[in-house]
Amino acid sequence: MMFAMLAIGMFACGGNEKKLTYYDLKEAESTLFNEDESLNVEVAPQVAEQYCLFVKQNPDDSLADEWLYHAMEINVLLKEADKSADLCEQLLKQYPRSSWAPVSLFLLANYIYDGQLHDTAQAHATYQRLIDTYPQSGLVDDAQKSIEYLGMTPDEIMNKILLERFQEEGEVDTGWVFSDDWGE
C-alpha cells in the first residue's frame, strides 16, 4: 500500500516525473494482485499509469508496446471502457506492427464492446478491423467466429455449434434434438 501511495505522489507532481526503469515496473507489477490472486483495484490504476509513463518516456524501448498493452489490459479488467479504447488506439498508432496490436483489438471487441457495453455494432466493426488489418494473425478465425456469435447467449452459441457439428456428420435429426421444449 505504501508503494501505491508513493506512486500516486510521484505522478501527481507533473514535471518532476522520475525516469522509470524495468525494475520500477516489475516492482509496481508485484502489487497488482492480492494474496487470493484477485486484482488489487486500489493500486491497479496507478500500475497502468506507470506502464503508460514508461512508454511515454521510452517510446522506442523494445518492450514499450507490451507495457502499453498491459496498461490496456488492466483498464479492461477495471471496466474502464474509454481508457481501454484510448490505449488500444494509442498502441495501434504507435506500434501498428506489434504482435500486441491484433490482441488489443480482439480484447477491445470482446471484453469492452461486446461483453461490457453490449455494443454489437462496435464489436463487429472492431473484429472486422482486426481481420482487415491483420489478416495473418492467429486471431482472425476467432474474430470471424465472434462476429458470427455476436448478440447470442451462451446457450444459443452452444446449440449453433452442436447443430453445425451434427449436420456435418449427418447423424442427428436436428429438429428434435435442439427444440426448446425437449425433455418436457
What is the band of 17 on the pLDDT scale with cuts at 50, 70, 90?
confident
List C-alpha distances in Å: 71 to 38, 40, 117, 167.
17, 14, 20, 44
Q: Identify residue 91 by its one-letter amino acid code.
A: L
Q: Strand, coil or helix: what is 24? A: helix
C-alpha cell at 66: 507490451
Task: CATH number of the domain at 123, please.
Answer: 1.25.40.10
User: How many independent structural domains does the chain possess?
Assistant: 1
Query: Can you tell me which residue has the cell 453445425?
Result: 164
The model's confidence at residue 175, banded by pLDDT at 50, 70 and 90, is low
Assigned domain for 143 exists:
yes
In a domain? residue 131:
yes
Asked, for residue 182, whether it belongs to a domain, the answer is no
Judge whether 32 lies within some domain: yes
Q: Say whether 39 sits in a helix, a strand or coil.
A: strand
So what's the pLDDT on residue 89? 96
| Distance separating alpha carbons of residues 28 and 52, to the nearest angstrom | 12
Res 165: pLDDT? 87
In a domain, 94, yes or no: yes
Cβ-Cβ contacts under 8 Å for 129 (sequence gap 6 or more): 105
Within a domain: 144: yes
Q: What are the cell numbers at 171?
A: 447423424
Distance CA 112, CA 167 (A): 33
pLDDT in tens, 99-138: 999 999 999 999 999 999 999 999 999 999 999 999 999 9
Q: How many Å apart are CA 172 and CA 159, to the nearest integer?
A: 13
Given pLDDT bands bounded at 50, 70 and 90, which one contains residue 147?
very high
Q: 65: closest CA among 29, 25, 92?
A: 92
Task: Let me know if residue 93 belongs to a domain.
Answer: yes
Give pTM, 2 decimals. Answer: 0.79
**What whole-number distance in Å separates Cα of residue 43 and Cα of residue 28?**
9
* Domain around 48: 12-171
Q: Which amino acid is at 21?
A: T
Domain assignment of residue 46, yes or no? yes
